[in-house]
A and B are shown apart, each in its own frame.
Chain A
Amino acid sequence: MRRFIEKSIEKIFAACGMITTVTILLIIVFLFKEGAGLFNSPEVEKGYALCVNAANPIEYISAPDVKKIYNSAITNWSELVGYDEYDINIVLFRDDNKDIFEYYDDEELGDDFDEIEANIPKKVLELIASTPGMLAFVREENLKKNAKGIKVLNKGTVSSDNFFFGHEWIPTATPAPQFGILPLILGTLWVSLVAILIATPLGIGVAIYLSELAQSKVRDILKPAIELLAGIPSVVYGFFGLVVLVPMVQKTLGLPVGETAFTASVILAIMALPTIITVAEDAIRSTPRAMREASLALGATHWQTIYKVVIPYAASGISAAVVLGIGRAIGETMVALMVTGNAAVIPKTLFAPVRTIPATIAAELGEAPGGGVHYQALFVLGCVLFLITLAISITAELISKRQHNKGL
């Protein structure tokens, strides 16, 4: 009986041992499940088709152009199709039982409600076929097959090419949202790389100080301080960046806004420091005593021993520390959200607003209707971030394995 109980409790422990594996699998399943529909979703607003007069030479209108048309930044077809080829003003039309009454009166549409209802689809198509400059959003059920004098544009689904290499991220633009995640990926890498460039020399320097030079009294102050630095919540870093660093950067560099890639990088560098210091210090400490003493016995100074023997020996451990630091910076959400300025543009300088993947998800998921195209796009974005961080943690693991093998 007791053996039976022992065995079953061991089974329970074993089941708990699998919890992290199960969680990772669940995360993968749900991220991909929620994002999967994206590349099957129509490019144009759901339930609508984008139509123009058949005489119109235009074949495709990109989302930014649609947006410009709606903002009246583009008013003439010649601006879209090329110079003077089709010099007609754009007339916007939306098939929502409202616009149609501006073109037809009751006599033409019919007297009672049912008759009007039945007449509208026919009249809408008639209207587009007879108005050369019209750009119309027609309800799919009103669009007959092979309707005469009408051309349907942007029939495709959201393409993965556009998604991964598109230069514009305007997910809420109606009626044709644009999902190009290139600026977000570049923004994320940009911010994290600069952060790591700042944090690496600092972190390694402190790690050397802690492991080689500091007396135990100094260590007793420094170690807890670094632990505390790691313990401060990211939102507090974000807040600190927002109220201290942002105005500071803006003033000293004379920029129009202080929310820049550089500001975020500085804060992320501070946040990555504890990770880098701790891991690098462990690596430096693992250098065998015999190697140090051999170097010292040959007449090298302590400093020469450090940079000619200790650092090369610990190199893979230190690289693992840096890679882990990058991982920390790439995934950081709140700081990126609060101090990067969140402009989804491809970064060209350090001193302009950018937008990162985690910040985009955090800022937009709350407003994206569940199950919609935008929602799906954010989950695909999550998959991308997941894969990036997974690649990073595997790299770090491989590197530190090399360090362990060396130890044998």
Chain B
Amino acid sequence: MSKKLSQKIAFWTFRILGWFVVGILLWILGFIIYNGISVISWEFISQAPRDGMLKGGIFPAILGTFCLIVGSMLIAFPLGVMSAIYTNEYVRDGKVSRFIRMMTNNLGSIPSIIFGLFGMALFVRYLGWKGSILSGSFTLGLLVLPLVIRTTEEALRMVPDSLRVGSYALGASKLQTIRYVVLPTAFPNIITGLILSVGRVSGETAPILFTGAAYFLATLPSSIFDKFMALPYHLYVISTSGTDLEAARPIAYGTALVLITLVLIINFTASFIRRYFSKKHGAN
């Protein structure tokens, strides 16, 4: 076989593989959109389930997921950003920062079900918070911490050193430089990281299985110590357990579509912000 021919065969294989991956994505998205679109209505989004989960909507699950997003971000965002500032601005390339980065990587590689076990042991049982929005938020908050830290660090690293040095030259202290120069410049990328973390939180199921997710609640949660319904958990229970799985399928498709739409919107927003600001920077 001539080397030209073997190159042609190889390159076509890679090209096909590349588009095959896009095909898989389109297949999954298309399948869920095709089957779920007819279920989506205002009623589906704004009402609670009825008739043994076979009718009605998924509003409590949407609300629960929203609570979890807010709760976990209140925990992960400040902690994560401050941690990233410390490693990137204070101890830049020393042993300490290498150690912290290694630990962050390790935390990021721990499977989500382990976080579920941990949340059950610490928050639910040891601290006595029971299964609640609080327990779920803390568990998810710790789960996305590595993601927040990593994206924030990247954002901070992209701030050119000349800005920092310029700030020092004007007599600003380290903290002032961070506060008035570094953070505002890195802000759009930090927000991108935050949005990506929201996407991660809204789709996680395993960590909330034992930290407060409920199959069905007759009333909406009224405090952070109440149990909650959540979109991913709702999709899980409605597609695997129940008396009449086939009859519950439309609801499951609808829930999957809402969940996927949420994730798509989050992803597009993140990439839009990233692109918008990188263009703006490019213009400067």
Contacts and interface: CB of A to CB of B under 8 A. Distances in A.
B is bound to A: yes
Interface of A: 2, 5-6, 9-10, 12-14, 16-21, 23-24, 26-27, 30-31, 33-34, 202, 205-206, 208-210, 213-214, 218, 221-222, 224-229, 231-240, 242-244, 270, 273, 277, 301-304, 306-307, 324, 327, 330-334, 337-338, 358, 361-362, 365-366, 370, 378-379, 382, 385-386, 389-390, 392-394, 396-397
A218 B256 CA distance: 29
Contact of B31 (A31, A244, A304): A244
Contact of A213 (B15, B21, B110): B15
A27 B207 CA distance: 13
Main secondary structure of the interface of B (DSSP, over half): helix
Contact of A365 (B7, B209, B235, B264): B209
A16 B117 contact: no
Contact of B11 (A303, A379, A397): A303
Given A23-B107, A31-B118, A366 B210 contact: yes
A234 B112 CA distance: 11
Contacts of A218: 18
A270 B24 contact: yes
B246 to A, nearest CB: 11
A183 B183 CA distance: 51
For the side of the interface on B, what is the size category?
A: 35 or more
Nearest to A303: B7
Contacts of A333: 111-113, 116, 205-206
B232 to A, nearest CB: 4
B113 A382 contact: yes
Given A20-B146, A30-B122, A386-B114, A13 B82 contact: yes
Interface string B231-263: 011011001100000000100100010011001
Contacts of B175: 5-6, 9-10
Nearest to A331: B111
B209 A385 contact: no
Contacts of A396: 109
B240 A242 contact: yes
B259 A233 contact: yes
A270 B21 CA distance: 8
A237 B206 CA distance: 14
B156 interface: no
Contacts of A16: 78-79, 82-83, 86
B117 A361 contact: yes
A354 to B, nearest CB: 17
Among all A-B residue pairs, the 9 with the closest Cβ atoms: A331-B111, A233-B203, A303-B7, A16-B82, A17-B86, A393-B109, A209-B14, A205-B17, A13-B86
Contacts of B210: 365-366
Given A240-B28, A361-B117, A232 B104 contact: no
A370 B126 CA distance: 11
A27 B146 CA distance: 15
B32 interface: yes
A238 B209 CA distance: 15
A207 B263 CA distance: 24
Given A23-B145, A358-B206, A206 B32 contact: no
Given A17-B91, A20-B83, A23-B142, 13 more contacts: A14-B86, A17-B87, A27-B114, A205-B13, A210-B18, A228-B264, A236-B260, A243-B252, A334-B206, A365-B120, A378-B117, A389-B114, A394-B106
A188 to B, nearest CB: 11
Nearest to A237: B28
A10 B10 contact: no
Nearest to B2: A301
A319 B122 CA distance: 36
Nearest to A356: B113
B221 to A, nearest CB: 19
Contacts of A213: 11, 14-15
B217 interface: no
Contacts of B146: 20
Contacts of B252: 239, 243
B158 interface: no
B203 A389 contact: no
B189 interface: no
Contacts of A10: 86, 90, 174-175
B157 interface: no
A303 B28 contact: no
11 contacts: A19-B80, A27-B110, A30-B122, A227-B267, A231-B267, A232-B203, A233-B202, A330-B111, A331-B113, A362-B113, A379-B117
Among the interface residues A18, A231, A235, which one has the most CB atoms of the partner chain B within 10 A?
A235
B274 to A, nearest CB: 11
A301 B2 CA distance: 11
A227 B111 CA distance: 20
Given A21-B103, A233-B263, A236-B256, A31 B117 contact: yes
B279 to A, nearest CB: 14
Contact of A239 (B113, B114, B235): B235
A168 B4 CA distance: 56
Interface string B115-151: 1111011100110000000000000001001100100
Contact of B100 (A2, A18, A392): A18
Contacts of A225: 21-22, 25
Contact of B239 (A12, A23, A27, A239): A239
Contacts of A18: 83, 100
Contact of B109 (A209, A277, A337, A389): A389
A362 B83 contact: no
